[in-house]
A and B are shown apart, each in its own frame.
Chain A
Amino acid sequence: MAYSSKVIDHYKNPRNMGSFPKDEPNVGTGIVGAPECGDVMKLQLKINDDGVIEDARFKTFGCGSAIASSSYVTELVKGKRIEEALAIKNSVIVQELNLPPVKIHCSVLAEDAIKAAIADWQKRKGIKPAEKKEEAA
């Protein structure tokens, strides 16, 4: 199976590859995996207090399509509000990267990674006000 030129481009020149420090308060980390192929994907989003995604990093162990999907997603979410990022469907990734049917699960994984990263950020942010309230009471 031949990869599309866009997949190859992202694979050879991955965008925003790497990690943010895990304990940085504005960073949400999502790690998701695909049991059928063994792939694992980490997506980190730096989200400001207005709920805008300022920056993103990814690190993926897996096939070219999984790497390209996560690389593309980091470009896609930058500058978006979390509600907009949560609305991203995997079909956008499939279309952009010309993924064949057998690689659609890679785009699903990338979509799941966005949701997991935002959920992690919300959890971190959500817990703090709750603690403050308890302290106040």
Chain B
Amino acid sequence: MIRCPSCGCEQSEKIVCEQCTGPLPVDLDLFAALGLERRLSLEPAELERIYHEISRRIHPDRFANSPQEVREASLKSTALVTRAYRTLRDPVSRGLYWLELHGTKLAEDNKQVPSELAALVFEVQEQLAELRDTEEPSSRQSLLETIAQSREAAQREMDQAREQLVANFAKWDQKSASQAELLAELKALLSRIAYLRTLLRDIDREIEPSVPR
């Protein structure tokens, strides 16, 4: 139970008071902060609508002349709601947060990445190393072309993995798979995405001199 700093009523933990719609200084998980059930599949447009609606109600500008306790509640709940929206709108960060909510992290008892993905990363890292050691302009040019093709391949893998993640969300939400199975599958897919993201970043750092190393 929590006491509303605006109207003083006691009520269950929510982001806004049911009596006066004022902000409540709560510590909720990111799904609860937006009044959502814990589900992996979320409709982006719906999420945005909910976020804007709640933000409007608790925005600090509305409480500029309110007592300090209310202003603080407004700041705290606004920060929480913003963090919830930013975390949950992206399927990957939502998946990572889901792991965290269920008491595990990506790096923990993580299975090996599939060998074909490791082989792709190795191949591209060799190309990048060769580029670093190559001075001659025409050789550099042909290497850069090879690397651009590798980047496309890695990006395709990434797009597929992200699509698969979103497609699996609905399946996982139906709880046809056991919780342990779900977390293992989610982790495997998020590892794949994390590895590809690092690879794409390494490629971009090497081929775009403007990006600081």
Contacts and interface: CB of A to CB of B under 8 A. Distances in A.
Chain B, interface SS category: helix
Contacts, number: 50
A119 to B, nearest CB: 9
Contacts of A33: 112-113, 117-118, 121-122, 195
B111 to A, nearest CB: 10
A35 to B, nearest CB: 4
Contact of B118 (A37, A40, A59, A105): A40
A92 B123 CA distance: 29
Contacts of A38: 121, 195, 198-199, 202
Contacts of A31: 115, 118-119, 122
Interface bin, chain B: 20 to 34
B89 interface: no
A125 to B, nearest CB: 18
B41 interface: no
Nearest to A38: B198
Contacts of A59: 122, 126
Interface in B110-147: 110, 112-113, 115, 117-119, 121-122, 125-126, 129
Interface of A: 31-38, 40, 42, 59, 61, 105, 112, 116
